Structures are given as C-alpha cells and as structure tokens.
Amino acid sequence: MAKTVLITGASAGIGKATAIFLAQNGYKVYGAARRTDKMEELKTLGIRPIALDVTNEESMVACVEQIFKEVGSIDILVNNAGFGSEGAIEDIPMQDAKYQMEVNVFGAMRLTQLVLPKMRQNKFGKIVNISSVGGKIALPLGGWYHASKFAIEALSDALRMEVKQFGIDVIVIEPGGVKSEWGNIAMDSLIRISGNSAYKDMVKGAEKSYKKTEKNNSEPIVIAQLIKKGIEASKPKTRYSGGFMAKPLLFLRSILSDKILERLIMSQTK
C-alpha cells in the first residue's frame, strides 16, 4: 500500500516541490499550509491540500485527526514549514523572536508528538525535519533563525535515539541555497528591522552578498530528491545535505576554527 505523507509548508518552495515529487512517485500526499488557496493546483496531481497553522494547537490536532480518519495513519511526516526572522539580535522584538521559535521549532515538535503514537503502534515511521546549513553555521543578522535550526538539529538527534526502538527513523535535511520566496521574505525582514539601526552598514553588506549569490541557488527539486532518498533508505543517514554551497560550507565548518570561520563569514558582509 502507498505510504501516507504529511508535508507542512507545502504551498511553496521545498514543501511544494516535495509534495509534487512524492505524489509522482506513488505516495499518498497531504500538503499542509495556512494558504490552502496556494495549493489548489496540487489537487490535479492527487495531492490533498489541508489547512494547517503550526502555531495553533487546535489546527494541528484537527489536521492530524482528519488524516487519521481518512486513511488511518501518517507514515511519514515532513516538518518543512518555517521562515527566517532576520535582523540584529539587539533589534528584533522578543515577540518576533518567540514567533520564530513557535513556527520553526515548537510547531514541528508538536506535530511530531501527535503522529508518534500511531507510528509506534504500526512499528514504522519516518520523521523528516528540514533544518539548514544554518543549523550548523550561524551568520550575523540571522541569530534567531539560526537558533531555531540549531534547536531542530539537537531535538532530532535526541528524538532519533528515543524512537529507533519502535522502528521509527528521524532524518535531518540540511539545505544550502534553494530558490524560493524564503530569501526575499528574510531580506525584507532584515531591512525593515535593522536597515536603519546601528547595524545598517552590516545590513547593506548582507544585502549585497545575497543579491550576488541568489542567482546560483538550486531548484527545490534537489531537496525533494534528498527527502525521497532518505525515506526510502533501509538504513537512512542521520543527515542529508544539498543545494547551493551546502557541502562546501559544512566541510569548512568541520575543519576551520571558530575564529577563522567568523573572519571568513564577516569578509562576505563588507
């Protein structure tokens, strides 16, 4: 029987590409997002759009219960919903920082809690958490975003060891640069929050660097293919990385000291 997949943040970018790719490869896909109108076209591919707000408990419970009612279980959860709240740590209102963690961390972990009992019962399950190269390397002006992805990395590692005994795999995906609306939203946030603050010169450098590199970003299908590879492996890796500059950056993180890496990063914001 076809495995049932719930993909959050399926209205655009990596989530949308993954929903389409997995549906084309025989999976029963539920694409979840707040903007269900953005997923109408997915219906023609057999994808079931479902409303979901990962900051709302009732919405998350209703989403999971609806899928359980319709097909019995969720075999694979892809925690993809997320965004980047960019700006200097001094400038970002704490309310915004908390919302960043609510979407990127607490929403993902609450959905995980909701699907795990059925997975344990079935002695099968795949939890795929979309992290980032930014879950291993922190850049200036993105502190709260990086904090959320560092948290996803740690929670995934702990969860993997907890649920392995029940036949459940936890897989981390670490994208590098990927073409999506994420970058423009993050850059707009950065300019709005810190564009006229004491950090404005650093913002200008970051904006210049972003514009210079964004044209090289990979298509979202690259990450969709990694996700498929992970969920179909009999013994999946703990982490898969892909997209523009993902592997080179992770390699540099592994061999450079903190101070040398920081100097390299700061050279890109001049």
76-79 and 239-242: which strand pairing?
unpaired
Do you know the residue count of the chain? 270
| Cβ within 8 Å of residue 230, ≥6 positions away | 126, 128, 171, 173, 236, 237, 240
Identify the CA nearest to 247 among candidates 232, 226, 268: 226
Taking the CA of residue 193 as centre, how many other CA atoms within 13 Å lie in the half-sphere pointing to its CB?
21
> Which one of 16, 28, 136, 149 is the catalytic residue?
149
Written as six digits, the tokens of 66 are 């609806």
> Which one of 16, 85, 126, 131 is the catalytic residue?
131
Active site residue 145: yes
CA–CA dist 115, 111 (Å, integer): 6
CA–CA dist 88, 85 (Å, integer): 10
> Which one of 27, 30, 145, 240 is the catalytic residue?
145
Sign of CA pseudo-dihedral 37, 176, 131, 139: negative
Active site residue 197: no
Active site residue 27: no
Q: What backbone phi and psi angles, to 5 degrees, belong to 257?
A: -70, 165
> Which one of 3, 11, 180, 194 is the catalytic residue?
11
H/E stretch holding 8 reads strand 4-8
Q: How deeply is 215 buried, as exposed, middle or buried, from its count of CB atoms within 10 A (0-12, 13-18, 19+)?
A: exposed
Active site residue 149: yes
Q: What backbone phi and psi angles, to 5 degrees, belong to 241?
A: -125, 150
Q: How deeply is 164 buried, as exposed, middle or buried, from its count of CB atoms within 10 A (0-12, 13-18, 19+)?
A: exposed
Just list the catalytic residues: 11, 131, 145, 149
